[in-house]
């Protein structure tokens, strides 16, 4: 059975319609892509991506129904199982993360007292900030996966198992810094999430959002189906730097800085999808799997770092904004 036949044999899951544009509220769209779950083959659905004709924001429509979340986020989902990633790749990611946090906190006008990480996984960013001197009692994380929460709590970290919109234990105006890395694209209503995050920040506090960037050569060259940044059906919203900044401004944030980030995994997923499903070359596709080929991942990372140095857009963007 070919990879495409295997994917087609998986069950279809229930869906719900997407709502108006989460950035500007418009309801005028045109289709820009259609993809399947090329990574985990959890379902056979074709998923459509549409772009808002007013602001350029991309949304998936329809969306997976709420009761299917345990299907599209299987226990093997990589974000919940960081220990399964090769130690060299984890070391390199840690180095990149430290540089990213240095860039974020280096431009802040106040020291970081309270820190919140949304979608904290096993708490690696919480640990990093505590190691840099942030009070552990004022360092909190929010995470949905039960196993990841258990792992974080076993390390003595303060982690709540909840959606950020429902985490009532978090007090308004409690945090100087909130980070949300590659999470906002997974939520149904990013506008509601951003409003919630603003309420949790102190006046002058900083929000750092990192997310896939649709306005890049990678997405254009990959065509309508195989771009790794779609991460179908788990990425429900795909921003550009412009649309993300527009969303933040609409909710009372002042944009401080923005820069493009390495999207190395998206580069390799694109090759993986195209080779495995587009060309029916599963062995070659698996060779491009970003979690299995560390040398190729390092090469993709170096390529993106070079593009960033040259001022080029990559498939990930980081925006830092302050609560005005």
Query: How many other β-carbons are positioned within 10 Å of the β-carbon of residue 142?
Result: 24
Report angle CA 41, 45, 49 to the nearest 5 degrees: 105
- Residue 132 φ/ψ, nearest 5 degrees: -90, 5
Alpha-carbon span 228 to 92, nearest angstrom = 21
β partners of residue 323: 253
Question: Are the CB atoms for 165 and 190 separated by under 8 Å?
Answer: no
Of the candidates 203, 211, 204, the one whose C-alpha atom is nearest the C-alpha of residue 187 is 211
Of the candidates 40, 58, 48, the one whose C-alpha atom is nearest the C-alpha of residue 17 is 48
241-250 and 190-200 helices cross at what angle (nearest 10)? 60
Range 3-323 has CATH code 3.40.630.30: no
| Tokens 């004709």 found at | 53
Question: Are the CB atoms for 232 and 59 separated by under 8 Å?
Answer: no
Query: How many other β-carbons are positioned within 10 Å of the β-carbon of residue 66?
Result: 9
* Burial status of residue 11 (CB atoms within 10 A of its CB: 0-12, 13-18, 19 or more): exposed
Q: Strand 175-181 to strand 237-238: parallel, antiparallel, or no bridges (unpaired)?
A: unpaired
Supply the pLDDT for residue 106.
86
Q: What is the 8-class DSSP label of residue 182?
A: S
| Tokens 């919940």 found at | 80
The whole model's pTM is what?
0.93
Helices (DSSP H) in 109-158: which residue ranges? 124-131, 146-154
- Residue 58 φ/ψ, nearest 5 degrees: -110, 130
Q: Please list the rounded mean pLDDT of every run of 10 residues in the chain (324 residues).
A: 94 95 94 96 97 95 95 79 62 79 86 94 92 93 92 95 92 96 96 97 96 95 93 97 97 96 94 96 94 90 95 96 92
| Tokens 């994917």 found at | 7
CA-based R_g, the chain, Å: 19
Supply the pLDDT for residue 324.
82
Alpha-carbon span 261 to 221, nearest angstrom = 18
Question: Domain spans of the chain?
Answer: 3-323
How far is C-alpha 43 from the chain's CA centre?
21
């Amino acid at each position: 059975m070919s990879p495409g036949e295997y994917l087609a044999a998986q069950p279809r899951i229930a869906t719900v319609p997407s709502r108006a544009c989460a950035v500007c509220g418009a309801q005028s769209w045109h289709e820009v892509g259609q993809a399947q779950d090329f990574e985990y083959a959890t379902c056979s659905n074709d998923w459509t991506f549409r772009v808002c004709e007013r602001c350029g924001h991309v949304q998936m429509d329809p969306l997976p129904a709420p009761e299917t979340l345990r299907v599209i986020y299987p226990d093997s989902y990589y974000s919940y199982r960081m220990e399964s990633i090769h130690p060299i790749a984890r070391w390199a990611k840690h180095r990149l993360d430290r540089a990213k946090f240095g860039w974020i906190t280096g431009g802040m006008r106040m020291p970081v007292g309270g820190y919140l990480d949304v979608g904290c996984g096993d708490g690696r960013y919480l640990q990093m900030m505590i190691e840099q001197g942030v009070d552990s009692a004022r360092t909190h994380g929010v995470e949905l996966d039960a196993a990841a929460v258990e792992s974080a709590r076993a390390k003595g970290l303060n982690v709540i198992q909840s959606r950020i919109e429902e985490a009532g234990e978090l007090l308004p105006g409690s945090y100087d810094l909130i980070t949300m890395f590659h999470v906002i694209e997974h939520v149904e209503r990013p506008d509601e999430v951003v409003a919630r995050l603003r309420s949790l920040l102190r006046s002058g506090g900083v929000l750092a959002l990192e997310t896939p960037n649709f306005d890049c050569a990678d997405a254009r060259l990959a065509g309508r189906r195989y771009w790794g940044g779609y991460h179908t059906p788990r990425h429900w919203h795909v921003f550009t730097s412009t649309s993300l900044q527009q969303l933040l401004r609409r909710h009372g944030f002042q944009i401080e800085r923005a820069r493009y980030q390495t999207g190395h995994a998206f580069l390799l997923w694109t090759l993986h999808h195209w080779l495995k499903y587009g060309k029916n070359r599963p062995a070659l596709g698996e060779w491009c799997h970003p979690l299995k080929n560390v040398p190729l991942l390092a090469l993709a990372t170096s390529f993106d770092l070079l593009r960033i140095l040259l001022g080029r857009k990559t498939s990930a963007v980081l925006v830092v904004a302050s609560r005005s």
